[in-house]
A and B are shown apart, each in its own frame.
Chain A
Amino acid sequence: MKQALFGYLQSKVTPGEAGDMLWATIYVLLVFAGVALAVLFMNWFERKVMAHMQVRMGPMRVGPHGLLQPIADALKLLLKEDVMPEKSDKLVFWFAPVAVCMTAFTAMLVVPFGRAHAITDMNIGVVFMLGVSSLSVLSIMMAGWSSNSHYPLLGGLRAGAQMVSYEIAMGLAVVSAVMLTSMSTGTGSLSMMEIVNQQFQQGRWFAFSFFPLGFIGFVVFAIAMVAETNRAPFDLPEAESELVAGYMTEYSGFRWSLFFLSEYTAMIAVSSIAVTLWLGGWLRPFPNLLSGHRWDLAFSWGPAFVALATAALCFFYVIKMSSIRAMRLNRLGLAALAAVLGALGLLMLLPPVASRIQDIFWFSIKVAGFMYLYVWYRTTFPRYRFDQLMKIGWKVLLPVSLGVVVLTALVGVRHELLPLVWRVR
Chain B
Amino acid sequence: MKVVALLRKVFLLDLFAGLAVTFRHQTPGAIVTEQYPLERPTLAPRYRGQPKLVKDPLTGEILCNACGACALACPEKLITVESERDPQTKKKVLTGYRFDLSRCMFCGLCEEACPTEALDLTPEYELALYSREGMVFEREQMENGLQRKVYEK
Q: Which residues of A contact B (CB under 8 A)?
A: 49, 52-57, 60-61, 322, 324, 326-327, 376, 379-381
Contacts and interface: CB of A to CB of B under 8 A. Distances in A.
Contacts of A57: 31, 33, 35
Contacts of B21: 380
Contact of A380 (B19, B27, B31, B35): B19
Contacts of B35: 57, 60-61
A55 B23 contact: no
A381 B28 CA distance: 22
Contacts of A60: 35
B128 interface: no
A56 B33 contact: yes
Contacts of B22: 53, 376, 379-380
Contacts of B33: 55-57
Contact of A56 (B18, B19, B32, B39): B32
Given A380-B18, A381-B15, A55 B25 contact: yes
A93 B39 CA distance: 46
B34 to A, nearest CB: 8
Interface of B: 15, 18-19, 21-23, 25-28, 30-33, 35, 38-39
B11 to A, nearest CB: 10
Contact of B19 (A322, A326, A327, A376): A376
A57 B31 CA distance: 7
B78 to A, nearest CB: 37
A56 B35 CA distance: 10
A57 B27 CA distance: 11
B31 A326 contact: no
B28 A52 contact: yes
A322 B39 CA distance: 9
Given A54-B25, A380-B15, 7 more contacts: A52-B25, A52-B26, A52-B28, A53-B23, A55-B30, A56-B31, A326-B38
B151 to A, nearest CB: 15
A400 to B, nearest CB: 10
Contacts of B30: 52, 55
A49 B32 CA distance: 15
Contacts of A324: 38
A53 B27 CA distance: 8
A249 B27 CA distance: 35
Q: Which 7 A-B pairs have the closest CB atoms?
A: A52-B26, A56-B33, A53-B22, A380-B22, A53-B26, A380-B18, A379-B22
Given A376-B22, A376-B23, A380-B22, A55 B32 contact: yes
B126 to A, nearest CB: 18
A376 B18 CA distance: 10
A379 B25 CA distance: 11
Given A324-B38, A327-B38, A52 B18 contact: no
Nearest to B17: A380
A395 to B, nearest CB: 13
A49 B26 contact: yes
5 contacts: A52-B25, A60-B35, A327-B38, A381-B15, A381-B18
Nearest to B33: A56
A49 B19 CA distance: 13
Contacts of B15: 380-381
